Amino acid sequence: MHLSLRLVSLALCIAPLASAGNNSTPLVQACSGYSFPRVACMYRYASKMPLDFYRKASIDISNVDTYSSTEVANDDSFQQVGKATFLVWDQQRGSEILGSDPAYDIVFTISTGGHEAPVYVPDTNELWFSELGKGELHQQVISLDGDSPTISEVLTDPPLYAPSGARYRNGKIYFSAGGGNSTLEGGPYHPGIYSVDPKTRKSTIEVNNYFGWYFNQVSTPTSHTRYGSSLPTTWILTSTVASGLVILVSSWAQDLTLIHTDSAIVLARNHGTSTVAPQVQASVYRYDPATGAVNIVDDTLHCPNGVAFSPDYKTLYLTDTDAGVPMIDPRVPLSEVPSLQYNSTNRRTVYAFDVSEDGSYLKNRRPIYTAKDFVPDGLKVASNGYVVTGAGKGVDILDTTGTPLLSIQTNFTAVNMVFGGKNLDELWIVGHGAVARARLNLTGPALA
């Protein structure tokens, strides 16, 4: 009798555990008002998968695993993830972003190398971006005038080498260039921040060293005016030992201030766009163009890269792409430097920082999102405060806490993006092999 009771009790204990590993509700569902599987709603973020499931972590940067590659043996609906253009994580807010007629299309097929630094120029209705190729000095320019966009190459005077970030402000484009080469035609070239007049194509050096050391590689810049248009602009750019330089131009004071991160020459060296090994640690700096002073404001990120302000300029978002592992040993000759490696257990995280009232320092760092695919690379903030990041084969749209709301899935590695068009209601995405455009109910912040 006691044995029978024990068996019954054991069965009652095991039954809930067994059922807990299986879902009766499909993880991937149709979204009301949208075609399926083009638009797919993820049930409760698919955070409880039926047993057995498995996602293989790749260490091959040329074939990084994706969320859609996850094997979910006991839920056939998950196969629809790979067929979706839009993955909706939060049905209410995700649907609001989609709007009534979401669109996505490949506008141009380009080379399979890395492409970066997309920036919209309202004065000319153009979108500029760069190609991170060894010895490549031309910038790509898309004209949005006319019925269909057209693309051409331009060469600034003097040329820019390997820009990996850009922002528009007051009639000029501010590029964060990461190329370093003393023998390339038109050089020497060193990482730094360069301004370009998009009409005359004239370029000017803004900042290019830290007490005589080369910056590793300049990555992404951003700008804002916190207290009104009467005050100067704020710029932020990021860089990593593998990626670039980050500079923030700040307008909290009456004079112009820049904050930048530096750690990217490592990546530039792996990409072949820099002949110099890193000289300084990955850091974020503040640069004051009125005095020339450069001050460190953060050295906690391993590979700072994408950067953007919240609309109220009280929060600064930065990405750490440390999962892309570069070769930084200066004893290794350039000819023997291997391609970039990948380790998914390293950081691939979006961080938020509070900005001090006077704009002189960052505080309260907190991680808000680990990319579901590859690394969070380019970073933008929409006019409503949503955070937009390119991560692997797609773009993730997050709320201010880092909760995913919507993902745009691409068939190419999405490196960076920018809001463009006269109403800033087109999200242009550049990366390896393509330029794409998404039209959603989401706009970029106003440009000055």
pLDDT-wise least confident of 6-10, 155-159, 350-354: 6-10
Are 437 and 429 in contact by the 8 Å Cβ rule? The answer is yes
Q: What is the pLDDT of residue 203?
A: 98
Q: What is the pLDDT of residue 242?
A: 34
Summarize pLDDT for 326-369 with one digit per residue, the tens: 656 667 666 666 666 788 888 999 999 999 988 888 999 999 99
pTM of full prediction above 0.75: yes
Q: What is the pLDDT of residue 50?
A: 95
pLDDT-wise least confident of 89-98, 259-268, 431-440: 259-268
pLDDT band at 241 (very low <50, low <70, confident <90, very high): very low
In the chain, ranges of CATH 2.120.10.30 domains: 100-439
Summarize pLDDT for 269-281 with one digit per residue, the tens: 455 666 676 777 7
Write the class of the CATH domain 100-439. Answer: mainly beta
| Helix H or strand E encompassing 342 | strand 341-342
- Pairing type for strands 86-88 and 404-409 reads antiparallel
Instruction: Over range 2-7, report the average pLDDT.
Output: 43
**Hey, which bits of 189-269 come out as E strands?**
192-196, 203-207, 209-210, 213-214, 223-224, 234-237, 245-248, 257-262
pLDDT-wise least confident of 258-262, 294-298, 360-364: 258-262
pLDDT band at 61 (very low <50, low <70, confident <90, very high): confident
**What does the DSSP 8-state code read for residue 313?**
S
Instruction: Over range 286-306, report the average pLDDT.
Output: 82
Structure tokens at 270: 């792996």
Helix (H, G, I), strand (E, B) or coil at 80: helix
Residue 105: burial class (beta carbons within 10 Å; 0-12, 13-18, 19+): exposed
- Whether cis (ω within 30° of 0) applies to the bond prior to 188 is yes
Summarize pLDDT for 11-60 with one digit per residue, the tens: 434 333 334 445 589 999 999 999 999 999 999 999 999 999 999 988 88
pLDDT-wise least confident of 69-83, 135-149, 177-191, 229-243: 229-243
- Pairing type for strands 349-355 and 362-370 reads antiparallel
Q: What is the pLDDT of residue 221?
A: 55
Q: Answer whether residue 1 shows pLDDT above 60.
A: no
Q: Which of 30 and 134 is assigned the larger pLDDT?
A: 30
Instruction: Over range 160-186, report the average pLDDT.
Output: 88
Instruction: Over range 61-79, report the average pLDDT.
Output: 93
Q: Which of 416 and 283 is assigned the larger pLDDT?
A: 416
Q: What is the pLDDT of residue 262?
A: 54
Calculate the alpha carbon distances from 333 to 177, 182, 185, 282 in Å: 23, 16, 22, 21
> Rg of the chain's alpha carbons, rounded to an integer?
23
Are 303 and 324 in contact by the 8 Å Cβ rule? The answer is yes
Helix (H, G, I), strand (E, B) or coil at 305: strand
**What are the helix and strand counts (H, E) for the chain?**
3, 35
Other CB atoms within 10 A of residue 256 CB = 17
Summarize pLDDT for 372-421 with one digit per residue, the tens: 999 999 999 999 999 999 999 999 999 999 999 999 999 999 999 999 99
pLDDT-wise least confident of 186-200, 208-222, 284-298: 208-222
